[in-house]
């Protein structure tokens, strides 16, 4: 270990759509994780590795904290809990537009109560909030029992406002430690995982009904040909036949759009030509079926 080198794990937590994934992408200066206007886009705990000669921080993007009502939500809450258990620092994002709501008070009481690690409280989306409303946002935290070591920040993960200062404060709070991953590694996840996430993100962006929450993407085959082209076949699983028809669309237009947009993003990820073929399959109530959740990578086998 180089003398003076710092390292640690930082858990990004908060309600759905608070901006955790957007913040991680901004810190890493790359689009690592899916971001859509819809809550609950993130389903897994995803490591994003920030590295420079003097420090390495493993940021853990987590699913939005919510009350679980099916096996899928239970898995997402366990992912968030695992992130906090492994973390040296907790970074709690609050949507600055919505302010401190009942959901934030529940998170504080059930998740952050007696937290033994430094806590950074972030009011996010400040690019859309008037400066004179900051005091009102602060007032919303009154009566919430936060650790005395908590620090408060105002940021915009979207345009980067306040993010550099936040990052330096996080680094200041870290102890000396080794690199956990090679300097050129950006995440603990495989290319196959991120291809699935790209396809799911593009489906989220195109589908306007509740279908995205009933959608899972599974890579059936991903092979690199001798000429460098990546041939990928993937299945989009939904829970009802009506959802399948919507995803396919009139004369196959919707699935064609999802495929075209996904392929363009996958080309950027793999830096190669891509052939992508998508199918849609009905997997009845897969979100409540632990066996299917294991098949889709949401639970250990």
Q: Is 6 helix (H, G, I), strand (E, B) or coil?
A: strand
Pairing of strands 230-238, 6-14: unpaired
pLDDT at 110 over 90: no
Whether residue 183 contacts residue 51, with contact meaning beta carbons closer than 8 Å, is answered with yes
User: Which residues of 62-125 form beta strands (DSSP E)?
Assistant: 89-95, 119-124
Answer whether 6-173 and 191-295 agree in fold.
no
* % of the chain beyond a pLDDT of 90: 41
Report the pLDDT value the prediction gives residue 129, as an integer from 0 to 100: 87
pLDDT, tens digit, 9 for 90 and up, residues 23-38: 998 999 887 765 544 4
Residue 99 and residue 125 in contact, taking contact as beta carbons nearer than 8 Å: no
pTM of the model: 0.74
The more confidently predicted of residues 262 and 33 is 262
- Contact at 8 Å (CB) between 84 and 73? no
Q: What percent of the chain shows pLDDT beyond 70?
A: 83
- Sign of the C-alpha dihedral computed for residues 274, 280, 281 and 285 taken in this order: positive
Letter string b/e over residues 270-281, b meaning 16 or more CB atoms within 10 A of that residue's CB: beeebebebebe
Residue 34 confidence (pLDDT): 57
How far is the C-alpha of 66 from the C-alpha of 73, rounded, in Å?
8
Element housing 235 (H / E): strand 230-238
Residue with tokens 């939904």: 238
Residue 80: what pLDDT?
A: 64
> Higher model confidence: residue 158 or residue 67?
158
| Domain covering 6-173 assigned CATH 3.40.50.300 in the classification | yes
Q: How high is the pLDDT of residue 201?
A: 86
* 100 CB-near residues (< 8 Å, 6+ apart): 94, 137, 140, 141, 144
CATH number for the 191-295 domain, one of 3.10.20.520, 3.30.70.20, 3.50.50.60, 3.30.300.20? 3.30.300.20
Coil, strand or helix at 164 = helix
**Cα Rg of the chain, angstroms:** 20
More confident of the two residues 209 and 170? 170
What is the per-residue pLDDT for 300? 53
Which pLDDT value is given to residue 205? 85
Domain edges within the chain: 6-173, 191-295
């Amino acid at each position: 270990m180089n003398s003076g080198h710092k390292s640690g794990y930082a858990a990004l937590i908060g309600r759905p759509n608070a901006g955790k994934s957007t913040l991680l992408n901004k810190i890493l200066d790359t689009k690592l994780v899916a971001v859509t206007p819809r809550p609950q886009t993130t389903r897994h705990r995803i490591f994003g590795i920030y590295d420079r000669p003097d420090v390495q921080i493993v940021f853990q993007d987590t699913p939005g904290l919510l009350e679980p009502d099916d096996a899928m939500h239970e898995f997402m809450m366990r992912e968030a809990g695992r992130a906090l258990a492994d973390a040296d620092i907790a970074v709690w994002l609050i949507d600055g537009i919505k302010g401190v709501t009942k959901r934030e008070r529940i998170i504080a009481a059930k998740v952050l109560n007696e937290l033994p690690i430094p806590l950074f409280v972030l009011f996010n989306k400040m690019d859309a909030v008037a400066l004179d409303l900051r005091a009102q946002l602060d007032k919303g935290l009154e009566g919430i029992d936060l650790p005395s070591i908590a620090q408060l920040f105002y940021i915009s993960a979207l345009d980067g406002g306040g993010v550099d200062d936040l990052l330096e404060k996080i680094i200041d709070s870290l102890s000396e430690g080794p690199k956990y991953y090679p300097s050129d590694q950006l995440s603990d996840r495989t290319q196959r995982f991120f291809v699935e996430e790209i396809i799911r993100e593009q489906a989220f962006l195109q589908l306007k009904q509740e279908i995205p929450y009933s959608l899972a993407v599974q890579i059936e085959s991903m092979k690199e040909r001798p000429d460098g082209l990546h041939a990928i076949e993937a299945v989009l699983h939904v829970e009802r036949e009506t959802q399948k028809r919507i995803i396919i669309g009139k004369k196959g237009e919707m699935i064609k759009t999802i495929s075209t947009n996904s392929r363009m993003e996958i080309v950027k990820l793999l830096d190669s030509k891509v052939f992508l073929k998508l199918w849609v399959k009905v997997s009845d109530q897969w979100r409540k079926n632990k066996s299917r959740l294991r098949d889709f990578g949401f639970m250990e086998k």
